[in-house]
Structures are given as structure tokens and as C-alpha cells.
A = this chain, B = another copy of it.
């Protein structure tokens, strides 16, 4: 009897569902929204102000996707005018910690990248 051995889940395998998770993460808006929410629950308007350059459309769209995947919790108070609050779920928080590390990496190393690009383009 042949023993079927399942390969361990790997992001390098495109058929593995881990790849889908990676693609959700690998978005600049995700990488900004989650760390922003790590600062505390926020409303739509606050996020719009916190995250420079994001449009209402992309914010709504990304938030919905994050909510669908269980990373963000959306609380609609059902009032008029609307009051909706977003906060991280448990899983969302575990991810936002790592994303925040990446954000800090970008802030600490962008000068070096800028310099490298200049060098490269000068050739």
C-alpha cells in the first residue's frame, strides 16, 4: 500500500492556498491599513486621514477584503449619520505586528534604496 504523502504547505506552490493568503498581504494598502488599525479602532474618516494617498474607493474595497478574510472586524452602529468602526481581529493583530516590522524597514532603509537607484540609472 502506497502511502500518500501530502507536501507541507508552501507559498512557493501556486496551488497551495497559502499563496492566496500571501497575495492578500502583498498589497500596499493592506500593509498600511493593518498597522494603522494596530494603533486602535478607527472609523472610515480617520483611516482616510491617517493613510496618505488612499482613495475612498480603495479604502472601502481593501477593508471589505480584509473583513472577508477575518483580519478586520467591522462594527456598524446603524445610526444616521452612519458610524462604522473597524478594528483588528486576533489573527489580524498577529499579522499587523509583522507588517509593522516591514513598514519600519522601509522607513529605515529607503535612503539606501534611493541611492542604489540613482547609481543604477546613472550607468
A residues with a Cβ closer than 8 A to B are 8-28, 30-32, 36, 50-53, 67-71, 91, 94-95, 98-99, 101-103, 105-107, 109-117, 119-121
Contacts and interface: CB of A to CB of B under 8 A. Distances in A.
Contacts of A31: 11, 22, 25-26
B26 A27 contact: yes
Number of copies: 2
A28 B102 CA distance: 14
B98 A101 contact: yes
A116 B53 contact: no
A21 B110 contact: yes
B115 A17 contact: no
B120 A11 contact: no
Contact of A120 (B20, B68, B102): B68
Given A12-B51, A70-B117, A109 B21 contact: yes
A106 B21 contact: yes
A73 to B, nearest CB: 11
B23 A28 contact: yes
